[in-house]
Structure 1
Amino acid sequence: MLIDQSQSLQNVAVVGLGKIGLTLAAVFANNGYKVVGADINKEVVTSVNQGKSHVNNEPGLDQLVLHAHKNNTLSATSVTTEAVAHSDIIVVIVPVLVDDQNNVDYQFIDSAVHDIAKGIKKGSLVIFETTLPPGDTKNRFGKKIEELSGLSMEKDFHLAYSPERVYSNRILEDLQNYPKVVGGLNRQSLELASNFYKRALDCNLIEVSSLETAEFSKVAECVYRDVNIALANELAVFAEEKGVNMAEVITASNSQPYSHLHSPGIGVGGHCIPIYPYFFIDKGLDQGLTPMSRQINDNMANYAVSKIEKEIGSLENENVLILGLSYRENVKEPTKSTSLLLIDQLKNKKANLLINDPLFTDSEIQKYGANPLSLEDSFVSEIDVVILQAFHQEYSHLDFSKFSKCKLVLDGRNKLNEHEISQLGIKYKGIGN
């Protein structure tokens, strides 16, 4: 017998209070739901229970968390089972990563699902927002919940998948602007999940025919971007060989409405683009553009170092400064950052490696095997090579005259002022020019 669809679903557990999970929890809590966030990090739990956001650089989030705290609609706990037991809707946003061999790493979400299964009650709706390989919502996690809880999918609990599709520093904006893709185990699961998101997010929806379609769509988005960035990087390298400026090519080519060339760069980092293609690769898509693109983009760090060597010779004992430990601008996130590949490359070349990143403390930088360097330190005058990896806003007006002994600036994002740098007698090299 199917569950009565008229049940009132008012209590929500959000499992995982990272930057996306906390934002979702705060939005839900301000749109008519009583929300309990669950996270294994007790400092995060304490912060939320004080009405404070632990996430920086997300416009509007601080106010939403505080407002929900004052209204007693948002709280947090480190005991996932309890949060789930008191909730009718469980939204799961716990990361799935890849290990050093690029195998899918389920350790965090497997643990979370174990706790969910121990607390779930009949009639609950479980929605996964974590990006997953196609088939995992039902075949890995739905079945695990069945196994541990004694409840059955369709008969005792509902199951849906709706991937997060947001970008750091603008999560609230993206939640409003991007349609929410929703797939369900069956029609009833789909309707329950869709009705929840209509109320909780007040956004447009795209209902798809299955859990697997929804899962596939999110991974496909990231593969598309990875493939197109790889194409841009491949063309940029070729343009350099032919003495052509790739930036001009992109402007000219993209004036035609069917051309969408991406910008080349020193590499691809973050939680999404360099990780999620492996969700297809590990499922059997191990030939063709998807794996090739991963190889091309990860090789850009090696290409960047080779460009430097071509200009100045050996890097042994040269003082090399990387600007930006983070994988991209204005975000404190080192996951899969190209800087990590550069660190390995430069260590192998026996360079004296230094990193500046205004978003990280000195001790955080040192954990990655590099020496931190403040741009106010007098040692900047001893730097031989500067590599721009993440174009933080702090670098937009960087005074390169302080780098009095610098031989070369490699602009890995094509963002710096080539004319100003060249006027100082410093060689300037970008990607694709």
Structure 2
Amino acid sequence: MPGTGENSSRQPSDSPDYPGSSQVESSVSPDYPVKTVAVVGLGKIGLPLAAQYASKGMRVIGCDVLAEVVESINAGLAHIHEEAGLEEAVAAAVAAGTLSATTDTTGAAKQAGVVVVIVPLIVAPDRSMDYRNIDAATRAVGRGLRRGTLVVCETTLPVGTTRQRLGPMLEKESGLKAGADFHLAFSPERLYAGRIFEDLRRYPKIVGGIDEASTKAAVDFYRSVLDAEVWAVENTETAEFAKLAETTYRDVNIALANQLALYAASREVNVNEAFKAANSQPYSHIHRPSLGVGGHCIPVYPHFLLRDATNGELSLVRDGRDTNDRMAEVGLQQLDRLLGGLQSRRVLVLGASYREDVKELAFSTVFPVVKLLHHAGAQVLVLDPLFRREELQALEAEVVDDVDTATSQPVDAIVVQAWHRDFRHLDWRRFKGLKAVLDGRGSVDPAAIRQAGAAYIAIGISETRAAAPK
């Protein structure tokens, strides 16, 4: 990751000057002040962005299709409660008159000098892409687009989408020409749920426009609203690809850790000691093996590249994706063998989220874990303190509300799917009849499991080591 500088808007020394740099003067003059910003999409990323821009003195109009979201924000209440500092930021901005919300995206675009679109591109479980939401948002912006406006998309997109799909939509709806009449750029969000404001300060902001003037306009805007470096790249395609490259890099490296772990297990190697020793070298950063990868980003965005890869291109990426997708099955096969079968076994899954301490189910490995357990004939229970019972209905498993309920009846095995902080002081001895724990995140102390009289299983732990005494 390139270095960042607090309150720095300089171009990184190893990043080429963006085309035209500060010498480029745009022929497109805004009809009204750039200080009005429309943020289209007030979800887990969009609302924090709106609050951030408002904190920098912008007049922000947030746009969302959900009337209840708009009403909540206009009352000074954030509808997202898990993001540190967000509720206070929204309340302060609304009270100061710098943040308001509306369902009228077209009307907001008419008033804005900058429009930031952060509407999700929906990806189905089969990895097919549904553009309907972002297309509708783009058309609504286009109907209100005025000469001189800067439109920036922050939604992660396949390479070429900004120029080839969104640009023509904006032109058709507005009657204007991208580049000649309005600016168009892409700037991927690079944010981690739960620490968005921190990440906005920490990571360079990547920006690429369809032309030099669009890049300059986007750079100038982000310099005015962020306390991080603004990293300009050649064009929208480069910016789109940068986001896909960074997430794919992580996916492939996680797959490497999983493949190495399976190799180690087959040869009775202590994988945790080996990885720790390897990582003592500054250039080695081997991940912990796990049951797989979840969330909106890492398991999804490699498919944006793979969808048009040809003639064996990106074979490493495809292999890495396949590896990570099968790790839940690998882990449960270990559990099945150790227990002598899963038929009629009571198995408790700890954590439904795709990662610890975040309330998000998107592409969580809890789904294949529960499905595979059901297929093996197990009785499946799920415990996640971050969710209400009704929010976990899609799992089609028995939801337990708390540890007391979970320990009221015997369980044969536990699968640690997300290691929330609420689980970190568990007394494993409370679980009656516990025979094995599958540590899907490599986060649990094996000694504590064995002291409870259970076997400890994890990706990379051989079955001999799993059954070994303390």
TM class by shorter chain equals over 0.9
Q: List structure 1 runs of 4+ shifted beyond 3 angstroms.
A: 5-8, 378-381
Using a 3 Å threshold, how does the CA distance of structure 1 residues 47 and 5 change in structure 2: closer, same or farther? closer
Tell me by how many angstroms 1:5 deviates: 6.7
SS in 2 for 1:382: coil
Task: Indicate whether 1:425 and 2:450 are aligned.
Answer: no
2:443 corresponds, among 415, 422, 432, to 415
How far apart in 1 are the matches of 2:65 and 2:460? 44
3-state DSSP class of the match of 2:45?
helix
Asked if residue 333 in structure 1 is aligned to residue 360 in structure 2, the reply is yes
For 1:281 and 1:378, locate their aligned partners in 2 and report how far apart those are by CA, in whole Å. Answer: 42
Partner deviation per Cα, 1:18-52 (whole Å, 9 max, x = no partner): 11111110010110110011112222212211111
Q: Give unpaired runs (5+ residues) of structure 2.
A: 1-25, 462-470
Q: Of 394, 417, 433, which aligns to 2:422?
A: 394
CA distance in 2, matches of 1:166, 1:405: 42
* Residue aligned with 2:409, SS: helix
CA–CA distance in 2 between the matches of 1:78 and 1:6?
Answer: 23
Q: Which residue of 2 aligns with 1:139?
A: 164
One-letter amino acid of the counterpart of residue 406, structure 1: L
Report the CA distance between 1:96 and its aligned residue.
1.4
CA distance in 1, matches of 2:347, 2:86: 37
Matches within 5 A, 1:34-433: 34-284=59-309, 287-373=314-400, 374-377=402-405, 380-433=408-461
1:331-370 CA-to-partner distances (Å, cap 9, x unmatched) read 0100000001111111111211110000111111123211
Distance 1:98 1:384, change over 3 A: same
Aligned to 1:376, the other structure's residue is in SS state: helix
- Residue 19 of structure 1 aligns to a residue in which SS? coil
User: Given residue 157 of structure 1, which amino acid in structure 2 is its aligned partner?
Assistant: F
Shift, 1:314, TM fit: 1.6
Contact 1:365 1:371 (8 Å CA) reproduced: no
TM-score (norm. length: structure 2): 0.89
How much has 1:326 moved relative to structure 2? 0.6
Contact kept in structure 2, 1:19 and 1:55, CA below 8 Å: yes
**CA offset at residue 381 of structure 1?**
3.3
CA distance in 1, matches of 2:314, 2:231: 30
- TM, length-normalised to structure 1: 0.97
SS of 2:283's equivalent in the other structure is: coil
Q: Report if the CA contact (8 A) 2:122-2:131 is conserved.
A: yes
Could you tell me how far 1:104 is from its partner in structure 2? 2.2
> Could you tell which deviates more after superposition, 326-335 or 276-285?
276-285
Cα 1:63–1:378 change in 2 (3 A) is closer
Matched residue, 2:19: none
Q: CA offsets per residue over residues 376-395 of structure 1, 9 Å max, x none?
A: 11654321110001111001
Measured against aligned partners, the alpha-carbon deviations of 1:139-192 in whole angstroms (never above 9, x if no partner) come to: 010111112221110111110111111111111011001010110111111111
The share of aligned pairs that are identical, in percent, is: 44
Q: Distance in 1 between matches of 2:347 and 2:320?
A: 28
Partner of residue 11, structure 2: none
Taking the aligned partners of 2:392 and 2:408, their CA distance within structure 1 comes to 17
Query: Does the 8 A contact of 1:381 with 1:402 survive in 2?
Result: no
C-alpha displacement of 1:8:
3.3
State whether residues 331 and 458 of structure 2, in contact with CA within 8 Å, keep that contact through their aligned partners in structure 1.
no
Deviation (angstroms), 1:205: 1.1
The CA deviation at 1:204 is 0.6
1:380/1:277 Cα in 2 relative to 1: closer, same or farther (>3 Å)? farther
Query: Are the aligned partners of 1:97 and 1:275 in contact in 2 as well (CA < 8 Å)?
Result: no
Question: What's the CA shift string for 1:82-112, capped at 9, x where partnerless?
Answer: 2212211100111113223212221221121
CA distance in 2, matches of 1:99, 1:60: 31
Q: What amino acid is the match of 1:391?
A: W
**Contact 1:381/1:406, CA 8 A, preserved across alignment:** no
Q: Cα distance, 1:6 vs. partner?
A: 9.6
Give the aligned residue type for 1:416.
V
Aligned partners of 1:38 and 1:45 also within 8 Å: yes
Give the distance between the partners of 1:189 and 1:159, measured in 2 at CA: 6
Partner residue in 2 for 1:13:
38
Q: Which has the higher contact order (CA 8 A, sep 6+)?
A: 2
What amino acid is the match of 1:350? G
Mapped contact 1:2–1:154 kept (Cα < 8 A): no
Q: In 2, distance between residues paired with 1:13 and 1:201?
A: 16
